[in-house]
Every structure is written in structure tokens, then in C-alpha cells.
Amino acid sequence: MRQIFLDTETTGLDALNGDRLVEIGLIEMVDRRLTGETRHWYLNPERASHPDALRVHGLTEQFLADKPKFAAVADELLEWVAGAELVIHNASFDLGFLDAELARLGHLSIRKAAGGVRDTLLMAREMFPGKSNSLDALCRRLEVDNSSRTLHGALLDAGLLAEVYIRLTRGQDSLVIDSGDAETPGTHTVAAIDLTQFSLLVTAESEEELAAHETLLKDLDKASGGKTVWRQFMA
């Protein structure tokens, strides 16, 4: 299964009112293994970023002035995602911007090119209801190192999302475990083992170990004010 983890940065929050893409990052995974293949573009949005957006991604007009426009990368983007499942955190946001850019060029929705879309925000809300499920929050909860994320970056965030996704799905896409054989589903054949052929090794404790154990029990008894249950049973 081919999956592509996708993230974008934008000039603002409203694709329908003229906000544009400034960065796209994509990372490829095949059969739950990262292939090392990526695509990454900074884009000239032909407009300024909203101050709030600029504080998030730090991509200034001056930096983006000589970068390609979306039209220059659109065909390569569509070709690269063709048939793959897109994995996106808060997918409606990124897809809204991508579709708006593609519509300006007369292209169909990116969903038409891809083989499907999986939204990790919806997955996280089902797994952790009532909790914060931002990418940063999931990184903390699932122990994904995001210490390098001082500013948002599309390729960096796509990489973090891939690690979060692996932990969210616990290494499998289904609760059904494939045994890899042709047996009837739900049946397993286990070879009988004669346990009488094994000898159980029993080691005796030393005098020093017994003394150390007794000292520990006395310390626990003292700390509890003589209320340790085992002493009562022994009496």
C-alpha cells in the first residue's frame, strides 16, 4: 500500500477568499515503511501572508519572491500522488487550499488523482476524545520527538505526522492478525509439546540474600507502623 503524508503552509486561513499556498511537503511510505522519497516546494503566493500565518511558518515575502508559482509544480504534484492514499492532519484545510489552487488551473480536485484520503485528526479524536489532538499534542502523547519544530514547516510536519500515524495505528491497520497460512479464518494449529522432557532449574537463596530480605521486611513493617499483612498472617 502506497501512502503519502502531506502538509502545507499558507498565507492565511481562507482559501476561498484569496489565501494561497506557500509550501508543500510530501513523504512517501510503502507497506508501512518510509521509502526516503519526498517532494518539497516553497511557492510564491503572489501576495503577503497574514501576520498570524507569518508567525507560524516564518516564510517572508522576500524569501518567497523568487520561488516557483503553484502552476509550475501542479503537474508533478498530481503525478506523484496518483493512486496513493493521502494521510493528512486536518485534511479539509490542506485539501481546500490544494483544490483552490488546482481549480485556478482548470484541474480536478486532488482527491480525483489520489487513491483516497485519511485524516489523522479524525482518527485521534476517536482515540482520545475530549483531549487536545493537535500535531504537537499527539507528538507529546505518543512520544514523537518534535523538539526541532520551532516553526511550522511542511516537510518537517509531514515527517512528524508519519511517525504519529505509525503509533496511532500500532503497527497494523486492522485488529485481524494474518497468520500467513491458508487455514480457515479463526482457526490455528499448535503443535503439542511434551513438557516432561524439560527439567526445571531451582536455585536456593543464600544466607546473605535471606538476611537482606528480612531487613527489607523489617523496614517495611516499621514504615507502616506494624500494619504489614504478611506479619499478621505469620503470627
**Tens of pLDDT, residues 55-85:** 999 999 999 999 999 999 999 999 999 999 9
Burial classification of residue 38, based on how many CB atoms lie within 10 Å of its CB (0-12 exposed, 13-18 middle, 19 or more buried): middle
Whole-number pLDDT of residue 204? 79
Residues with Cβ < 8 Å from 156, sequence gap 6 or more? 25, 148, 149
DSSP letter at 149 equals -
171: confidence class by pLDDT, cuts 50, 70, 90 = low
Query: What is the C-alpha to C-alpha distance for residues 15 and 93, in angstroms, rounded to an integer?
Result: 9
Residue position matching grid coordinates 485488529: 175
7 forms bridges with which residues in the sheet? Answer: 25
Q: What share of the chain is helix, strand, coil (3-state, %, to 5)?
A: 45, 15, 40
Residues designated catalytic:
152
Strands 33-42 and 85-88: unpaired
For the chain, the domains span 2-168, 195-234
Q: Residue 174 above 50 pLDDT?
A: no
Q: List pLDDT tens digits, range 24-58.
A: 999 999 999 999 999 999 999 999 999 999 999 99
pLDDT band at residue 182, thresholds of 50, 70 and 90?
very low
Which alpha helices (H) appear in the chain, and where do they start and end?
A: 51-57, 61-64, 70-81, 91-104, 110-113, 120-127, 135-141, 154-168, 207-223, 229-234
Task: Count Cβ atoms below 10 Å from residue 24 Cβ, excluding itself.
Answer: 24
CATH pick for 2-168 out of 3.30.70.3270, 2.30.30.230, 3.40.50.300, 3.30.420.10: 3.30.420.10
Label residues 186-214 b or e (16+ Cβ within 10 Å = b): eeeeeeeeeeeeeeeeeeeeeeeeeeeee
